[in-house]
Amino acid sequence: MDRFARIITFDSPHFPRHERDAELANAEEMYGYALASHIGEKLAERGTTVSAFIAEDWGWYCEIRLPETAIAYGVMAEADSDDFVIQFIPHKPYVRKLFRKIDIAEPLARLQDDVFAILQSAPSRSGPVWSEG
């Protein structure tokens, strides 16, 4: 399985709809801000700062700035479910910027590992699970 093409699924009723979820383009159909911000707080304790929580049409885009680019995790759950999907952006160990290829393998792998560990410690029905993405 390609490490950089995975997502995490996570089942927890402990991260309900938050008032900021109204910012989502599909707010009536999805949510996820409470879990996205919980992950962001725990990442900060580990030395990683989430620079922005951005409402998208597919869920929350949570950006982490790097010197030359950015990486992110995304969080979403459907309105009638406690099943969250956490994805990582980009899904490759590099990004292209103009004519250069920027290696992001190490910070992206660290983000994935940190988010997985944070979810393992969070209240849930069952622990986080890596899935094909």
d(CA 133, CA 127): 18
Residue 1 pLDDT more than 50? no
Best CA proximity match to 35, nearest among 27, 47, 25, 43: 43
pLDDT at 28: 94
Mean pLDDT (whole number) for 97-125: 94
Residue 23 pLDDT more than 60? yes
The predicted-structure confidence for 82-91, as pLDDT tens digits, reads as follows 999 999 999 8
One-letter amino acid for residue 107 of the chain? P
User: Helix (H) and strand (E) counts for the chain?
Assistant: 2, 9
3-class secondary structure, 22: helix
